[in-house]
Structure 1
Amino acid sequence: MNGSELGEGSMKMEVIEKEKLVYMWGYLPGAMPQRSPLLSPIVVGVPQQGIVNAGNYSWKDVCGGGCGFAMAISDSGKIITWGSTDDLGQCYVTSGKHGEIPEPFPLPDEISIVKAAAGWAHCVAVTETGEVYTWGWKECVPSGKFLGEQAVDKEVSDGQSSFPAQQVTRHPQGSRSKVGAAPGIETRGGEDGAKRRRVSSVKQPAESSSPGDEGPSALPCLVTLNPGLRIVSVAAGGRHTLALSGQVWGWGYGGEGQLGLGSRIRMVSSPHPVPCIDSSSLRKDRAMGLSHGCPGSEGQGLRVPGNYIKRIACGGRHSAVITDAGALLTFGWGLYGQCGQGSTDDELSPTCVSSLLGIRIESVAAGLWHTVCISADGDVYAFGGNQFGQLGTGTEQAEVQF
């Protein structure tokens, strides 16, 4: 999904900074008439001259993620998309066509995008003023007005999850997180939420649909955030989203703990703070014997190194964040060991990867079943599923920790 890593079946892109060329390879059905994969890198053409809103016809950045579709940012701050995934509305297919040629996505003309990410079936973007726009699969588009960290009244989002329905339970006794289900959070997999949305819908003049229209996709929406809150980075997973302001915010599907709220929460319909630093998220049993462990007292969790979060990444059903001190925390689905905790258990709260304590982690990327991170010394660590050799270890054996 992203950081810079993509899940199986996704296309990959690489930027050559000097020439500002974008190369792609892999499977991108909407951009390839024969729907056959690209086995070697090819250059992606910039938007054609004369296209409305194309702006500066040069590349600025590429966006990790995207299953069957691709997304990049132009020098003028426009989102450029191509490809499609069954008209779910992530890229230019909101107009009903499959984009074989990169074209600007119809966001408001006056905004400039600086960061963006693509998930399995949704997209999220950050403007230069710290605002967040999101679109695509409806359950990934938040509803309700965010009023800050205080308890507020929030709406419950609509629709059944595309994941198998399951009975969702609270975090077991002894949870490392004290965060429970708040308003705007749905914890029962079999219940439909009220079909209500309170987000600002961004539409072109020719569009006649409304935010309440039925269908799997939602039009681009401006996420309602607390006044003064400035988002600097976003990440999109299979069905969930993280946003970073120093504090981590999350919304979407959380059935495996990928939102880090301490419970198997089926749906979070508005941005909620993810407790990373202040929660007891360093496992004492794994930290014993580590000379570089963190201070703590008997009966209490050990504090994670750092004061704020500086990097975020979303995988298919798991997430990873990095503190300013270089500590790596993971949470969510752990079946393939992608959380790096030495087991295949799900992590319902952000948990420090204790085997990496003492190593300053600078960057992280999360795929469908695996996680990769880079240290300040330039070393690469990988863990999780390895069915296709994605860990680069020379074997196909999964790794539950580095």
Structure 2
Amino acid sequence: MNGGEEGGGGGGGGEEMEEDGREAMVVEVAEDERREKTVLMWGYLPGVSPQRSPLLHPVPVRMPDLQAGDRWRDVSGGGCGFAMAISDPMNTYNFRETGKLFTWGSTDDMGQSYVTSGKHEETPEVFDLPTEVPIVTAAAGWAHCVAVTAQGDVYTWGWKECVPTGRITRDQPSAGTSEKEERHGGFLSDQVSPRSQGSRTTGSGFDSKVGDENTKRRRISSVKVGPESSSSGDEALSAPPCLVTLNVEVRISIVAAGGRHTLALSACFKIIGVTNANALHLQSSDAGQVWGWGYGGEGQLGLGTRIRNVSSPHPVPCLESASFSKERSSSATKGKQDGQSYKLIGSSVKTIACGGRHSAVVTDTGVLLTFGWGLYGQCGQGSTDDELSPTCVSSLLGLKIQRVAAGLWHTICTSIDGAVYSFGGNQFGQLGTGSDQAETLPKLLDHPCLENKNAEVVSCGARHSAMMTVKNFQFQRLETSLSDVNVLPFQKDGQVFCWGWNKYGQLGLGDAIDRNSPSLVPLENHRPKNVLCGWWHTLALAESPT
């Protein structure tokens, strides 16, 4: 926590100490950026391993020789059969000046012609986007991707219903849905939510194992990009990169990609003047607005109704229409009755997450809101109902939630003091609670291996989870032009833990045995800086051993 927040009333001396702290933090950030980074990967990506065998241990991902002037900047989460990471130039130490987007891992027979670079090899390739502006962050869903530039613009590509076209389809799929639509749309339907048909859900499917994973792998298109491509077959189901149209003042800082939907968190700016050098002066306005598009049949877009497809970005009324669940706490009830619920929830959204068919956001007051599919309790409301509008997870009120991640059927969040809470489906131990019992309310992870450790990063794959911890860290916050960047200036003893489904070695533990509690991943003296889960794989950004 900033010294200025606790003891800012000490006059000039306090201001000097705060300024010294900021300078020390910036110096530490600069030093951190100079250190060589490595991307480590484990799990399964088609086309990466010989005979398509999984990687059971963390393996360094090689930067292409043609990109020798670049270095790894960060890793991106998500991706079913493909992975993404971001580089930046070696000759800059500006932590906001990142660069190119790399993709790797998919194969032609998986049909991901618009998801990866098309090389489909072990070595990452630069993914060409229709912009020269550096990429600062990116995310992947089941079969679509979204990236943000340094100017706050958003590009998206892949599964066509996730690429904005301006149409809105409100009706649900009819009983006569074509075989093609069922084949492509049913990837998340290991068990169809009765709620999506207007019925109340039950917990009968909580502990059922899914069937053969091959039945759930999606095929977007069997055609190849190039002169021989045709418009026949399934090609129409995927789309090349396009710029997402938003209001001219809107700048996006964070994106999240779910099964077939996308959320984007904006930081809006007003043009208030021009200098003699023609440089614009920008003033922040309405920062923290969430935008959503894509499939919304279970309420995962938070628009208050079941909308089959939203093909243009729509504001998600996270704060205006947020409600409390039926299992509301007494403090929440009192706040609602006193007309203070809006103040309790907050004035802006600070971070976002997308799961298979549900979503979660955290507000500036540390309140967690969830919405979407609830069959496994992944909305944390104490029930298995779908939530069509953002709803406060009342059992966490009083804890300032800082981060949130969402998987296919589960959700994980962390509090500002580093505690970890999980809820939702737990068929493979993905909640990390030590059992395979589903949880409809958040449950604290209190495993002995986490004693005296604080969770700094959490991530969810389809059915596995990952966490990066730090020991006795000092938290700082650094303001940037587009978003708040959380910085750990004195991060030491960082470790990565994984748990859940491990059929493809995505836990990095040297075997294919599921784990129902956090297990330490051996990184061979690499110092972790970030960890993110894909569908069947896990990526970590780490400092190389010195």
TM-score range, shorter chain: 0.7 to 0.9
Q: What is the one-letter code of the residue matched to 2:140?
A: A
SS in 1 for 2:236: coil
Once the two structures are superposed, what CA deviation does each residue of 1:83-131 show, in whole Å capped at 9, x if it has no partner? 11612335335x4x42321010011351211011000000000001110
Distance 1:45 1:26 in 2: 16
Distance 2:87 2:329 in 1: 49
Aligned to 2:148: 126
Once the two structures are superposed, what CA deviation does each residue of 1:275-324 show, in whole Å capped at 9, x if it has no partner? 110114223x422423x6563339x8943521011100001111000000
SS in 2 for 1:58: strand
1:72 and 2:85 correspond = yes
Distance 2:228 2:154 in 1: 23
Aligned to 1:277: 319
- Change in Cα spacing, 1:313 to 1:398, as seen in structure 2 (3 Å) is same
1:380 and 2:420 correspond = yes
1:99 and 2:121 correspond = yes
TM-score by length of 2: 0.57
Aligned to 1:62: 75
- Change in Cα spacing, 1:228 to 1:210, as seen in structure 2 (3 Å) is farther
Q: CA deviation at 1:30?
A: 2.5
Pick the structure with greater CA Rg.
2
1:221 and 2:262 correspond = no
Q: CA deviation at 1:391?
A: 1.1
Matches within 5 A, 1:256-275: 256-275=298-317
Does the 8 Å contact 1:125/1:234 carry over to 2? yes
Q: CA deviation at 1:56?
A: 3.9
Once the two structures are superposed, what CA deviation does each residue of 1:128-165 show, in whole Å capped at 9, x if it has no partner? 11100000011111113xxxxxxxxx5769x9573359
Distance 2:393 2:38 in 1: 36
Aligned to 2:437: 397
Distance 1:39 1:383 in 2: 27
Matches within 5 A, 1:312-331: 312-331=352-371
Does the 8 Å contact 1:90/1:123 carry over to 2? no
User: What's the RMSD between the two structures over aligned residues?
Assistant: 3.0
SS in 1 for 2:123: strand
Matches within 5 A, 1:2-401: 18-49=35-66, 54=67, 56-76=69-89, 77-84=99-106, 86-93=110-117, 95=118, 97-108=119-130, 110-144=132-166, 160=181, 162-163=184-185, 214-245=235-266, 246-283=288-325, 285-290=326-331, 295-297=335-337, 302-303=341-342, 304-401=344-441
Q: What is the one-letter code of the residue matched to 2:261?
A: H
- Structure 2 unaligned runs (5+)? 1-31, 90-98, 171-179, 200-224, 267-287, 443-546
Distance 1:102 1:401 in 2: 40
- Change in Cα spacing, 1:224 to 1:209, as seen in structure 2 (3 Å) is farther
Once the two structures are superposed, what CA deviation does each residue of 1:61-103 show, in whole Å capped at 9, x if it has no partner? 101111110001111411100011612335335x4x4232101
Larger mean CA deviation between 243-252 and 80-89 belongs to 80-89
SS in 2 for 1:136: strand
Does the 8 Å contact 1:143/1:270 carry over to 2? yes
Q: CA deviation at 1:388?
A: 1.2
Aligned to 1:5: none
Q: CA deviation at 1:344?
A: 1.1
Distance 1:209 1:248 in 2: 37
SS in 2 for 1:21: strand
Q: CA deviation at 1:390?
A: 1.1
Aligned residues: 336
Q: What is the one-letter code of the residue matched to 1:89?
A: S
SS in 1 for 2:142: coil
Q: What is the one-letter code of the residue matched to 2:327?
A: R
Distance 2:257 2:106 in 1: 17
Aligned to 1:13: none
Q: CA deviation at 1:366?
A: 0.6
Does the 8 Å contact 1:329/1:352 carry over to 2? yes
SS in 2 for 1:100: coil
- Structure 1 unaligned runs (5+)? 1-15, 145-153, 173-203
Q: What is the one-letter code of the residue matched to 2:87?
A: S
Does the 8 Å contact 1:171/1:262 carry over to 2? no
Q: CA deviation at 1:57?
A: 2.3
Once the two structures are superposed, what CA deviation does each residue of 1:20-61 show, in whole Å capped at 9, x if it has no partner? 111111111132231121111111101222xxxx47421111
Q: What is the one-letter code of the residue matched to 1:320?
A: A
Relative to its length, the structure with more helix (as a share) is 2
Q: CA deviation at 1:207?
A: 7.2
Distance 2:168 2:69 in 1: 39
Q: CA deviation at 1:224?
A: 1.1
Larger mean CA deviation between 31-40 and 135-144 belongs to 31-40
Aligned to 1:182: none
Q: What is the one-letter code of the residue matched to 1:252?
A: G
Does the 8 Å contact 2:139/2:256 carry over to 1? yes
Q: CA deviation at 1:214?
A: 4.4
SS in 1 for 2:441: coil
- Change in Cα spacing, 1:381 to 1:155, as seen in structure 2 (3 Å) is closer
Once the two structures are superposed, what CA deviation does each residue of 1:320-374 show, in whole Å capped at 9, x if it has no partner? 0000000000011111111111111111111010000010001111111111111
Q: What is the one-letter code of the residue matched to 2:112?
A: L
Larger mean CA deviation between 272-281 and 113-122 belongs to 272-281
Does the 8 Å contact 1:82/1:91 carry over to 2? no
- Change in Cα spacing, 1:385 to 1:169, as seen in structure 2 (3 Å) is closer
Q: Percent identity?
A: 63
Does the 8 Å contact 1:82/1:103 carry over to 2? yes
